[in-house]
Amino acid sequence: MMRAVSMQFRVAALYVVAIIFGEPTQLLAHCGGGQYCECSNAAAVERCFRAGPSFVIETANFQVSSDESEVRAKSLARHAEALRRELATKWLGEELVAPWASKCRIVLHSKRASYAAAVGRGGERTVGSSLVQSDRGQVIGRRIDLLGGNENFLTAALPHELTHVVLAERFANQPLPRWADEGIAIFEDSTEKRARHREVVEESWRRGTIPHLSQLMGTDMYPPTDRWGEFYGQSGSLTQFLVEKGSPAALVTFLERAAVIGYDDALRDCYGIDSVAALDAQWRQQLMAVAGRP
């Protein structure tokens, strides 16, 4: 008999590899309170309670816990609800009206030690991490860990990590390629993070070390840690390039087609580009116009 397989994917928003082009989620413009959400269209809080030292807030789709204050937990929960709707409309072309079958747990850590212990290896260099569990094509578990304290978690990590979680709903049967999953999440990062990613990829281009897109798109593994900056930068740059060719939702459609018929045929169907080699040539031409000749 066929055994059910549980797949887990943990992804992290890095301090130093932040992102490039495009505009981040517009929702943040309505949160003038910085770390305190002022979204007027956020879902109502269903339940508030204490669990040991933590304040726990439940909404339709989230269970948020914070060891700092009830105000922070409630602000984060409301913002996550509004952001979930916006991201789904933008990337999936749907509003996700129906609630998730299992709530996404968000843990806001006031201390680096608590965050690193929850996230595991690499937690000392990140501010956010997400974990999605799926079984037989259904998402059965969602979790986001965020570093609070002095970090502006509403902009520093939540959009990036929640994008991973929202996309996982569409790709529960076959996870997104690493470059696409990270590239799309990068698209939702803050302006400062995107600018730093742009600098990394442009510098790699000028040094002539940027990999061919067939290498980036042809693996489901993260590169060695000394290549993370280049990987994140190139992933964000390619995502921006394809979004500009169509739309965010069109990129997701392309990724769904590519999983079935391969990149070359999907590129022809969705973008009128003959192959990954042709895509690489067009992308490099645009990058050269911005960064100059290597």
**Does residue 137 sit in the same domain as residue 184?**
no
From 172, 189, 220, the end of a domain falls on 172
| Pair (124, 200) in one structural domain | no
Q: Is there a single domain that holds both residue 84 and residue 101?
A: yes
Q: Is residue 161 located within the same domain as residue 241?
A: no
Is the residue at 1 inside a domain? no
The string of pLDDT tens digits covering residues 179-216 is 999 999 999 998 888 889 889 988 988 888 899 999 99
Decide if pLDDT at 85 tops 90.
Answer: yes
Q: Which of these ranges, 7-16, 96-105, 169-178, 193-202, has the smallest mean pLDDT?
A: 7-16
Closest Cα partner for 78 from 195, 139, 164, 158? 158
Same-domain pairing of 163 and 265: no
Averaged pLDDT for residues 100-121: 93
Mean pLDDT along residues 215-242: 91
Q: Domain check: are 138 and 18 in the same one?
A: yes
One domain for residues 269 and 129 = no
For 102-106, 168-172, 201-205, 223-227, which range has the lowest pLDDT when averaged over its residues? 223-227
pLDDT band for position 108 (50/70/90)?
very high
Residue spans of alpha helices (H) in 63-126: 70-87, 112-119
Residue 116 near residue 123 (C-beta atoms within 8 A)? yes
Separation CA 212–CA 75 (nearest Å): 43
Give the predicted TM-score (pTM) of the model.
Answer: 0.84
What integer is the mean pLDDT of 126-150? 91
* pLDDT score, position 29: 44
Using DSSP, state whether 60 is helix, strand or coil. Answer: coil
Nearest to 59 by CA among 26, 104, 120, 110: 104
Q: Tell me which amino acid residue 6 is.
A: S
- Tell how strand 6-14 and strand 47-51 pair up: unpaired
**Domain-terminating residue out of 145, 172, 199:** 172
What domain range is 154 assigned to? 6-172
Pull the structure tokens for residue 227: 């290549």
> Same domain for 111 and 207?
no
State how far the Cα of 211 lies from the Cα of 201, in Å rounded to an integer.
Answer: 11
